[in-house]
Amino acid sequence: MPYEFISVLIVDDSKIMRRIIAKRLQEMGFADMYEASGVKPALKVLEEVEVNLILCDWSMPGLTGMDLLRMVRGNERRP
Protein backbone atom coordinates (compact mmCIF):
# COMPACT_ATOMS: atom_id res chain seq x y z
CA MET A 1 0.00 0.00 0.00
CA PRO A 2 1.49 3.35 -0.96
CA TYR A 3 1.46 5.20 2.35
CA GLU A 4 2.70 8.41 0.78
CA PHE A 5 -0.83 8.98 -0.55
CA ILE A 6 -2.52 8.62 2.86
CA SER A 7 -2.94 11.85 4.82
CA VAL A 8 -2.79 11.57 8.59
CA LEU A 9 -3.86 13.93 11.37
CA ILE A 10 -2.03 13.41 14.67
CA VAL A 11 -3.91 14.87 17.64
CA ASP A 12 -2.18 14.91 21.03
CA ASP A 13 -1.73 17.53 23.72
CA SER A 14 1.92 16.45 24.06
CA LYS A 15 4.19 17.97 21.42
CA ILE A 16 6.79 15.28 22.14
CA MET A 17 4.29 12.49 21.46
CA ARG A 18 3.15 14.15 18.22
CA ARG A 19 6.77 14.32 17.07
CA ILE A 20 7.48 10.69 18.03
CA ILE A 21 4.39 9.49 16.16
CA ALA A 22 5.14 11.67 13.12
CA LYS A 23 8.73 10.41 12.98
CA ARG A 24 7.62 6.78 13.15
CA LEU A 25 4.98 7.32 10.46
CA GLN A 26 7.57 9.04 8.27
CA GLU A 27 9.88 6.03 8.71
CA MET A 28 6.99 3.82 7.56
CA GLY A 29 6.57 5.89 4.39
CA PHE A 30 3.79 8.32 5.29
CA ALA A 31 4.49 11.77 3.86
CA ASP A 32 1.29 13.80 4.22
CA MET A 33 0.90 14.51 7.95
CA TYR A 34 -0.76 17.22 10.01
CA GLU A 35 -0.55 17.86 13.74
CA ALA A 36 -2.97 19.38 16.25
CA SER A 37 -2.55 19.98 19.97
CA GLY A 38 -6.20 19.31 20.83
CA VAL A 39 -9.73 18.91 19.56
CA LYS A 40 -10.36 22.53 18.57
CA PRO A 41 -7.11 22.82 16.57
CA ALA A 42 -7.88 19.43 14.99
CA LEU A 43 -11.27 20.68 13.84
CA LYS A 44 -9.58 23.70 12.25
CA VAL A 45 -7.24 21.39 10.35
CA LEU A 46 -10.20 19.27 9.23
CA GLU A 47 -11.93 22.39 7.89
CA GLU A 48 -8.94 23.07 5.66
CA VAL A 49 -7.83 19.61 4.52
CA GLU A 50 -9.27 16.15 4.07
CA VAL A 51 -7.44 13.40 5.93
CA ASN A 52 -7.65 9.64 5.56
CA LEU A 53 -6.60 8.73 9.10
CA ILE A 54 -6.82 10.43 12.48
CA LEU A 55 -4.54 9.25 15.29
CA CYS A 56 -5.82 10.83 18.47
CA ASP A 57 -4.89 10.78 22.13
CA TRP A 58 -7.81 9.47 24.14
CA SER A 59 -7.20 11.57 27.24
CA MET A 60 -6.59 15.28 26.73
CA PRO A 61 -7.52 18.28 28.86
CA GLY A 62 -10.90 19.79 28.01
CA LEU A 63 -12.34 17.97 25.03
CA THR A 64 -11.18 14.36 24.70
CA GLY A 65 -10.38 12.05 21.83
CA MET A 66 -13.85 10.57 22.21
CA ASP A 67 -15.33 14.04 21.80
CA LEU A 68 -13.39 14.47 18.57
CA LEU A 69 -14.58 11.07 17.34
CA ARG A 70 -18.20 12.01 18.03
CA MET A 71 -17.78 15.33 16.24
CA VAL A 72 -16.14 13.78 13.19
CA ARG A 73 -18.61 10.92 12.93
CA GLY A 74 -21.55 13.25 13.44
CA ASN A 75 -19.95 15.79 11.12
CA GLU A 76 -20.29 18.35 13.92
CA ARG A 77 -17.57 20.95 13.59
CA ARG A 78 -18.15 23.02 16.71
CA PRO A 79 -17.49 21.78 20.26
CATH number of the domain that residue 53 is part of: 3.40.50.2300
Residues ≥6 apart with Cβ < 8 Å to 40: 63, 79
Task: Provide the whole-model pTM.
Answer: 0.87
Domain count, the chain: 1
- Buried b / exposed e along 24-46 (16+ C-beta atoms within 10 A): ebeeeebeebbbbbbbeebbebb
User: What's the whole-number mean pLDDT along residues 2-23?
Assistant: 93
Task: Give the span between the Cα atoms of 1 and 72, in whole angstroms.
Answer: 25
Reference 11, options 29, 34, 28, 30; nearest CA is 34
* 79 in any annotated domain: no
31-65: pLDDT as tens digits: 999 999 999 999 999 999 999 999 999 998 888 88
What's the domain range around 28?
3-73
